[in-house]
Amino acid sequence: MAPLDATAYSECSEVLAEPFKRDKVASIMDTSIGSQYDELREEVRSFFAANEDVAVPAGPGFGGDASEVRNRVVKWQKRLVDAGYAGREIPQRYGGAGHEPDALASLVIEEEFQNAGLSLGMENQGISMFVPTLLHFGREDQKQDLISPTIRGELIWCQGYSEPGSGSDLASLRTSAVLDGDEYVINGQKIWTSGAREADMMFALIRTEADAGKHGGISYLVLSMDTPGLDVRPLMTMTGDASFNEVFFTDVRVPATNVIGRPGQGWEVGTYTLRFERNMLGRSNATENYMAGCVDILRERGLIDSPVYRDRLLKLEGRVQAMKYHQLRLLTDRLKKRDSGAGGLIVKLNNCQLNYDICALAIDAMAEQGVLKRGSKHVRDYGNWQRNYMYALGLIIGGGTAQIQKNIIGERGLGLPREPKPAAA
Partner 1 sequence: MDFGLTQPQELLRDSIARFLAQDVGIERVRRVMDSESGQDEAIHGQLGDQGITGLLIDMNRGGSELGMQEAAIAAQEIGRAAAPVNFHSSYVLAPLLIAGADGGERRNGLLEGIAEGRTLITPILDAPIENGRVVPDAAWSDAFLLESGGSLHLLEATTAGIDIEPLQTVDDTRRVAEVTFSGVDLNAAESLGGSAESSQRAVYAAQIAIAADALGAAQKGLHIAVDYAKERKQFERIIGSFQAVKHICAEVLAEVEPVQSLLWHTADAWDDGSDEIDHFAPLLKAHATDVAPGLRRHRLHPRVRHAHLLQARRPRPPGAGESDGAQGAGGGCDVRLRGTLELRPE
Site string for partner 1, 318-357 (x = CB under 8 A): xx-xxx-xx-xx-xx--x------xx--x--xx-------
| CA angle, 69 then 75 then 81, to 5° | 130
- Does the protein bind partner 1 through residue 424 (CB under 8 A)? no
Site string for partner 1, 30-49 (x = CB under 8 A): xxxxx---------------
Identified catalytic residue from 11, 246, 277, 300 = 277
Q: How many residues does the chain have?
A: 425
Distance CA 53, CA 190 (A): 40
Identity at 366, one-letter amino acid code? M
| Residues 6 or more apart whose Cβ sits within 8 Å of residue 175 | 160, 163, 186, 187, 188, 189, 190, 204, 205, 206, 207, 249
- Does the protein bind partner 1 through residue 414 (CB under 8 A)? yes
Q: Which region, judged by CB under 8 A, interacts with partner 1, from 23-31, 42-50, 165-173, 356-364?
A: 23-31
Q: Out of 246, 288, 317, 364, point to the residue binding partner 1 (CB under 8 A).
A: 317
Nearer to partner 1, 108 or 127 (CB): 108
Q: Which region, judged by CB under 8 A, interacts with partner 1, from 40-48, 184-192, 205-213, 415-423?
A: 415-423
277 classed as catalytic: yes
Q: Out of 28, 210, 424, 425, point to the residue binding partner 1 (CB under 8 A).
A: 28
- Does the protein bind partner 1 through residue 275 (CB under 8 A)? no
Near partner 1 in 74-113, by CB under 8 A: 103-104, 107
Minimal distance in Å, beta carbon 384 to partner 1?
Answer: 26
Q: Out of 140, 308, 419, 424, point to the residue binding partner 1 (CB under 8 A).
A: 419
CA distances in angstroms from 143 to 92, 134, 226, 232, 350, listed in the order given: 11, 7, 21, 27, 34
| CA angle, 172 then 178 then 179, to 5° | 140
| Residues 6 or more apart whose Cβ sits within 8 Å of residue 366 | 297, 301, 380, 385
Q: Which region, judged by CB under 8 A, interacts with partner 1, from 152-160, 189-197, 298-306, 410-418?
A: 410-418
Q: Out of 174, 275, 315, 373, point to the residue binding partner 1 (CB under 8 A).
A: 315
| Cβ–Cβ < 8 Å for 390, 397 | no
SS3 assignment, position 279: helix
| Cβ–Cβ < 8 Å for 348, 406 | no
- Does the protein bind partner 1 through residue 418 (CB under 8 A)? yes
Nearer to partner 1, 303 or 313 (CB): 313
Cα-Cα-Cα-Cα torsion 21, 23, 25, 29, nearest 10 degrees, comes to -50
Minimal distance in Å, beta carbon 403 to partner 1?
Answer: 7
Near partner 1 in 2-21, by CB under 8 A: 3-4, 6, 9-16, 19-21
Q: What is the DSSP letter of 224?
A: E
Minimal distance in Å, beta carbon 25 to partner 1?
Answer: 8
- Does the protein bind partner 1 through residue 144 (CB under 8 A)? no
Distance CA 80, CA 88 (A): 9
SS3 assignment, position 86: coil
Nearer to partner 1, 181 or 307 (CB): 307
SS3 assignment, position 234: strand
Region label for 221, one of left (φ > 0), alpha (ψ between -120 and 50) or beta (otherwise): beta
> Which positions touch partner 1 (CB under 8 A)?
1, 3-4, 6, 9-16, 19-22, 24-25, 27-34, 103-104, 107, 314-315, 317-319, 321-323, 325-326, 328-329, 331-332, 335, 342-343, 346, 349-350, 403, 405-407, 409-411, 413-420
Known catalytic residues are: 277
